[in-house]
Amino acid sequence: MFGYLRFLLALLVLLSHVNLRLGRDFNPGVFAVVMFYMLAGFVSAHLIEKVFTEKQQLFDFYLDRILRIYPQYLFVALLSVLFLAVTAYGEPQYRFGTVLNNILIIPLNYYESIDSSILQALPYPYPLIPPAWSLALELQAYILLPFAARSVVARASLGVTSFLIFLMANLGVINPEDYGYRLLVGVLFVFLLGISIHHCLRSSSYLHRFDYFFPIVVLITLLGLFPVLLTSPEIIFANFVRETILGVLLGIPLLFCLGKIKVKLLGNRLFGDLSYGIFLSHFLAMWFLNSNGLELQLIGSGPYIAMTISLSVGIAICGVFGVERAMKQYRFSRTRKSTSD
């Protein structure tokens, strides 16, 4: 079921970038990214528990995550460079530092202080793959997740500290968008919720009472906070406060429920693979449409959305069968070798 969930979340991110909003300017993409973080924690806990079981396999875990993220990322980045070379869309400028930042990915998370922009003549200066700032955050989380998955002390200290920072951000004490959504220090607890949920559902050898209480405490706290924030529209209707809180509130029970389903649904793995390609490529699809004069007439309309989805799925299919399948076989062969050593 997680493959279908990831596919739906990727579509929500895409829809948010074609200006689709729900209700009173509710951004579904933010909600989806928060749930992606929780899924990443859940998957990491599974890998630590079942695959990279020894502490000396830490490097193997890191390499596996790099091999999961980079090949399709570089594939879409290369397609974007080719598209920009042909069309000059957005008046791209390639400087050594910005190109290096786009390759390294992690600097993209700090776009407010580190210039990684390639496209200059758009409403905002963009890197090659604009949503990749969240991949940068995820890569940073992967550095800490193996330690948190194995150690309840690390899990509890990091989780509680991060959650307190998240609460301060959503109460307006510190910048809510930065510390409640875009920077690891305020959302690390979401990844750790995924770890705790995995440990509870799989009766992990790393399971601790903390893993039962942490999701419950987070749920109760946010359920109590949400009505309070409703009395402060200047906070809750700005800076993605609603979206991040609802992402956590719905993500916890949803992950618990889906994690209990043992049935393997047809197409689940394929849809999960396609989700990453859609997440990476939908800006490229939009830029292609916009370069052909479709932006002003159609953006936000049904035909524009349908064309963006179709192009993104097409690029994702090329990425899955041209890059991801071969890389996945290599990753699995490394995993088998690593576990047999």
Report whether pLDDT(270) > 70. yes
245 touches 283 (CB < 8 A)? no
Predicted local confidence at residue 299, as pLDDT: 59
Q: What is the mean pLDDT of the chain?
A: 90
Q: What percent of the chain has pLDDT over 90?
A: 70
CA atoms of 71 and 66, how far apart (whole Å): 8
pLDDT in tens, 192-222: 999 999 999 988 788 899 999 999 999 999 9
Give per-residue pLDDT as tens, 67-90: 999 999 999 999 999 999 999 999
Check residue 341 and give its pLDDT.
Answer: 44
**pLDDT given for residue 300 in this prediction:** 62
pLDDT of residue 337: 55
Split at pLDDT 50, 70, 90, the class of 340 is very low
Q: 163: which residues sit within 8 A by CB, 6+ positions away?
A: 189, 218, 221
Mean pLDDT computed over 135-145: 97
Q: What is the pLDDT of residue 297?
A: 52
In this structure, what DSSP letter does residue 321 have? I
Give pLDDT tens digits for 164-190: 999 999 998 999 999 999 999 999 999
Residue 239 has pLDDT above 70, yes or no: yes
Q: What is the pLDDT of residues 291-306, one digit of tens each?
A: 887 765 555 678 889 9
